[in-house]
Amino acid sequence: MARVSTPETPPRSRLVRMAARDPHEPGRTASPLELFFDLVFVVAVSVASVQLHHALTEGHVGSGLLSYGMVFFAIWWAWMNFTWFATSFDTDDWLYRVLTIVQMSGVLVLAAGIESVFVDGDFTVVVAGYVLMRMAMIAQWLRASGTDGPTRAATRAYAAGIAVVQLCWLAFLALPPGWQGAAWVVLAAAELAVPVVAERRGRTPWHPHHITERYGLFTLILLGESLLASSNAIIEALHDEQDLGSLISIAVLTVVVTAALWWIYFWPPHHRALGEDARLSRSLRYGYVHYFVFAAAGAFSAGIEVEIDALTGHTALSDVGASFTVTIPIAVFVLGVWWLAIRDNADRVVNTVVPVGALLVLCDPVIPVPVTLTALIMVVIVVVLVLHPPLSATRPPRAGRRQGPGAPAIPGGSS
């Protein structure tokens, strides 16, 4: 039976005019291509978490956290930028798919170079994979700029800005190792500045429900790494009867905390937290602060592995130090989600319990009570959230805040 093409399902044998999509398109959800794209990030996040675990276990806390922050920036920026571009210009024709697969290949190259960053401070492979992704994204932006309209100036600015920064990243490889740290900060700032400059030339539209669904799906990927760590604790317990009870308790703690993090993240209505007033500052805040939320979720799984090593005597860290590798990521994740999405949609009770609970979790390693305090605090936070639903779930949105077509700004729209 012949396939009937519609505007929503173009025939794959021809190219489709890349025009801005309607930000109020009904029923907009993540596409199979976007879900396929996310799979390569499972690999990249897993490799980064494993290398962080090794660095922390060996006592290289400072250098390990620095390397993790740098490589995770590349992972996060690559994922986020494609996601924002897709919500605005996804055509799903054959060229769009090919360029997306090229970006996926770049992620795999980047993942292959993560170990060299941690062990030798060598960024060659990571930068090569990163630049490959960005070059494919330049092609996407140039294609989007071929359509006349209010987004044309912005799309050209994105393409030009990305190209300039990629040349700088290639030059970065030629710098002496002692200069690369400072240069990385400058280039990361340049990457973050491209969307700010481009969006002031013309707003690109985003779909609030689609974009927040994409963020939620990536959060699930990161929390999945923590569940894997819980499974590893159980496997280790089966081979180490001496520490059986402690390892099982770590596995239970991980499941409880991971479930609580999931509950906390998905409690607020993120599409409202993202903002329906088209303010660039608000959408930038939502997009950029997620770096800390995502990085904390990835680091949490590494911390669980460190705790397992501490229980079995395979780490250079003290018991308190090992505990901090778990509690710091939890606290950063909870505080990040509270600041981004909860505080403007919650009553006074929630806005007191959530941040105070995060701070208590942070201090858990030095509080003279059993380690289960962290799990108990997380359960209390969830109970409070159950008893106090989001304010926006019980009241209608204020009038006059509806987005106009093409009005919202897209943070990090480049990749």
The pTM (predicted TM-score) of the whole model is: 0.88
Domain ranges of the chain: 33-199, 208-391
Q: 135 vs 43, 71, 227, 265, 308, CA distance in Å?
A: 21, 18, 35, 33, 41
SS3 content of the chain, % helix, strand, coil (to 5): 75, 0, 25
What are 210-220's pLDDT values in tens digits?
999 999 999 99
CB neighbour burial string for 73-88, b if at least 16 within 10 angstroms, e if fewer: bbbbbbbbbbbbbbbb
Q: In terms of C-beta density within 10 A (0-12 exposed, 13-18 middle, 19 or more buried), how is residue 7 classed? A: exposed
Higher pLDDT, 76 or 241: 76
CA 384 to chain centre: 26
DSSP sequence for 156-174:
HHHHHHHHHHHHHHHHHTT
What are 345-363's pLDDT values in tens digits?
999 999 999 999 999 999 9
**Any alpha helices (H) in 267-387, and if so which ranges?**
270-273, 280-311, 319-337, 348-363, 373-387
Distance CA 260, CA 11 (A): 43
In terms of residues, how long is the chain? 415
Q: At residue 1, does pLDDT exceed 50?
A: no
pLDDT for residue 365: 86
Copy the structure tokens of residue 307.
Answer: 């705790």
CATH for the 208-391 domain, from 1.20.1410, 1.10.10, 1.25.10, 3.30.460:
1.20.1410
Q: At residue 68, does pLDDT exceed 80?
A: yes
Copy the structure tokens of residue 342.
Answer: 């909860």
Query: What DSSP state is assigned to residue 276?
Result: S
Based on its alpha-carbon atoms, the radius of gyration of the chain, rounded to whole angstroms, reads: 22
Contact 68, 52 (CB under 8 A): yes
Mean per-residue pLDDT, 118-147:
94
Is the torsion defined by CA of 74, 75, 77, 78 positive or negative? positive
Mean pLDDT, the chain, whole residue set: 86
Copy the structure tokens of residue 233.
Answer: 């604790």
For residue 248, count other CB atoms closer than 10 A to its CB. 15
Cα–Cα nearest to 119, from 179, 180, 175, 54: 54
N- to C-terminal Cα distance for the chain? 39
Distance CA 19, CA 147 (A): 6
Confidence grade of residue 230 (pLDDT, cut at 50, 70, 90): low
pLDDT for residue 63: 93
CA 394 to chain centre: 29
Copy the structure tokens of residue 249.
Answer: 């308790």
Distance CA 216, CA 100 (A): 20
